[in-house]
Structure 1
Amino acid sequence: MARRIDPYSLRLFVTTAAEGSIARAAAKENIAPSALSRRIADLEHAFDVKLLVRSPKGIELTHAGVVVCERGRQFDKDLQTLARDVLELDGQVGGVVRLFANMSSMIGFLPERLKAFSALHPSVRIALSERDTSDVVRACLDDETDVGVCVKTDSSAGLECWPFALDPLIVVLPNRHPLSREDRLGFATAMDYPLIRVHPGGALDNLLGANAAKIGKQFKPAVVVSSFDIACRMIEVGLGIAVMPQSAATAYAGSRKFVRRPLAETWAARELCIYALRKSPRHRAVQELIEALRG
């Protein structure tokens, strides 16, 4: 092959394939879309084959693009491993550590611990991605991430697990709501009022739906939103109430416009855990991050 394959361009192509959009991939990799597009064009020139087809709806991989994406993903993983191994030979802690985390851990606990970790290990870059709990666990099992933080789950056989934080579910209400006089609220009582659904299909949404079915009620929220901050805006103007993690309520519903009450059910006592594929030895940067997250 006449031209050399640039590893960075290959990584950008893999990210673009995963995101399904040049614009989203550029934002994730912190590069201008035009520069990313040129990198992919250079990669196609190096392979002398079309890798993707662009359209107003996004991108679609060619057959060659699918092969390059699959091999490129493994190549990037091996390259990051090589970089960490070489640094460790020199006694340094560096390289890239992949971290997948669910929404509530990213809102309430991770930022401060990651900031402290980065101060101690400036040569380590954290590749942080938000995922649902089920996707975090699956990524750990498939070795697609080095560390995962999410709600404690029973479907984690084959992974090492450490406590991360307690993040119980609470009910967030607008000030002067009829239920604000209660010290704690049962889920059935909360369901008698208009509910706000957050992140349909996520772990919390599925949990609420399953427990509504157990008590013979239909989980039919009045408003559906994608995030906890938007849910709190809806609560603030009186469009409904919501069950959410304490971390999210602390971040977005801490003013006097809101009332927060514990959810009485035992299943509301959620625990967040750190997960990692069982490995021995484990890369030093990954192990250092795990120790930092454990506090």
Structure 2
Amino acid sequence: MRYDLVSLSLFVAVAETQNLTHAARRKHTAVSAVSKRIAELEQQVGTQLMLRLPRGIELTPAGHSLLYHARQIFRNLEQMEEELNDYAAGIRGHIHIFTISAALMHCLPRAISQFLTHYPQTDIDIEEQTGVGVVQGLLEGNADVGIFSSWTPASGIDVWPWQQDQLSVLVWHGHALAARASLQLADLLDEKIVGPHRDSAVSHILEREARRLGRTLSIGLRVSSFVSMAELVSQQLGIAILPVNEIAPASLHRGVRAIPLAEPWAKRELLVGVKAHALASPSVKTLIESLTAANRRGQEEEGSGSVVTLR
């Protein structure tokens, strides 16, 4: 069944003014033309849409339903027009990104910089969140794109693999563990630890694995910034466990050493997610393609024998 946009527009005007004459005046057309269009709509849907009363009109239940859907249609048309006007003006869309701090520390800024090289007039906002906050932002429509780890449950989200990293242990150079080539969580259970944000995925994983060993971690300080964690370690206030691969090497304090955490659960993937790819804007789809294409190139080069470190 096909609906004429002009007829729907006249119907909305009549419903909002509750008067054929007022609607005709608003739409700059004759009352008879408005009345004819409404009658044709009623004939098309096969039921009465409005009651003609002495002092105006009143919508029937079917009329209220049509009004709701007609408004949705016109809102979508307005959104489409605004987006196309942005393209015509050279503005390729607006993207709101929620990301965990690990990605924001290193790999995301570089990826966004590369994207903006090709699409310099795209407007991008970036907001730091915990992994749970990223997924919640996507589900609630507050974020267009999310960057979070594979440790975070993401039911209802379309995701793509992006980067990989592994947890490492930061110790100061004079620490008893500093000479070790790798460490396990059991080696750290008696250590004072500088921990991440309590709601972070890293914190949940560490606490879960410590419980499996029948212990709890001794966390004396909690900070959200990985750079701050490294600074606190350098001051010998504790050791830290964090995805150090995601930190720019220049950001690490000279007084600390990163030792890989040799646990199977210490490896993770960073994911790119959207609520529904099919409904995403062209600019969002272009960004996702840019991010995942870089990951695919890295995997192809690894397969051909080249060693590629993705950060």
**Matched position secondary structure for 1:199:** coil
Aligned counterpart, 1:197 = 195
Q: CA deviation at 1:93?
A: 5.7
Matched-pair contact (CA < 8 Å) for 1:195–1:223: yes
CA distance in 2, matches of 1:213, 1:82: 55
Instruction: Decide which of 135, 138, 159 is 1:137's aligned counterpart.
Output: 135
> What are the Cα deviations for residues 9-34 of structure 1, in whole angstroms up to 9, with x where unaligned?
xxxxxxxxxxxxxxxxxxxxxxxxxx
Q: 1:174 to 1:153 in 2, by over 3 A?
A: closer
Q: 1:80 to 1:261 in 2, by over 3 A?
A: farther
CA distance in 1, matches of 2:152, 2:237: 35
Aligned counterpart, 1:87 = 86
Q: Give aligned-pair identity as a percent.
A: 26
> What are the Cα deviations for residues 20-62 of structure 1, in whole angstroms up to 9, with x where unaligned?
xxxxxxxxxxxxxxxxxxxxxxxxxxxxxxxxxxxxxxxxxxx
Q: CA deviation at 1:190?
A: 1.5
Aligned counterpart, 2:217 = 219
**Matched position secondary structure for 2:153:** coil
TM-score (norm 1): 0.67
Aligned counterpart, 1:99 = 97
TM-score (norm 2): 0.64
Task: Give the structure with higher Rg (CA).
Answer: 2
Q: 1:138-153 maps to which residues of 2 (within 5 A)?
A: 138-153=136-151
CA distance in 1, matches of 2:178, 2:123: 44
Q: Return structure 1 stretches of 4+ with deviation > 6 angstroms.
A: 77-81
- The answer to whether the aligner puts 1:178 opposite 2:166 as a matched pair is no
Aligned counterpart, 2:164 = 166
Q: CA deviation at 1:250?
A: 3.3
Read off the aligned partner of 1:84 and give its amino acid letter. E
| Count of aligned positions | 217
Read off the aligned partner of 2:249 and give its amino acid letter. T
Gaps of 5+ in 2: 1-75, 295-311
**Matched position secondary structure for 2:123:** strand
Gaps of 5+ in 1: 1-76
**Matched position secondary structure for 1:221:** strand
Q: 1:209-248 maps to which residues of 2 (within 5 A)?
A: 209-246=207-244, 247-248=246-247
Q: CA deviation at 1:79?
A: 8.2
Q: 1:143 to 1:268 in 2, by over 3 A?
A: same
Matched-pair contact (CA < 8 Å) for 1:171–1:241: yes
Q: 1:81 to 1:187 in 2, by over 3 A?
A: farther
> What are the Cα deviations for residues 65-86 of structure 1, in whole angstroms up to 9, with x where unaligned?
xxxxxxxxxxxx9987753343
Q: CA deviation at 1:252?
A: 3.1
**Matched position secondary structure for 1:149:** strand
Instruction: Decide which of 275, 280, 283 is 1:282's aligned counterpart.
Output: 280
Q: CA deviation at 1:179?
A: 0.7
CA distance in 2, matches of 1:200, 1:78: 44
Aligned counterpart, 2:115 = 117
Matched-pair contact (CA < 8 Å) for 2:277–2:285: no
Matched-pair contact (CA < 8 Å) for 2:147–2:272: yes
Aligned counterpart, 1:250 = 249
Aligned counterpart, 2:301 = none
Matched-pair contact (CA < 8 Å) for 2:97–2:125: yes
CA RMSD of aligned residues (A): 2.4
Q: 1:67-86 maps to which residues of 2 (within 5 A)?
A: 83-86=82-85
CA distance in 2, matches of 1:123, 1:107: 24
Matched-pair contact (CA < 8 Å) for 1:96–1:126: yes
Matched-pair contact (CA < 8 Å) for 1:98–1:127: yes
Read off the aligned partner of 1:141 and give its amino acid letter. L
**Matched position secondary structure for 1:270:** strand
Q: 1:107 to 1:291 in 2, by over 3 A?
A: same
Q: CA deviation at 1:259?
A: 1.3
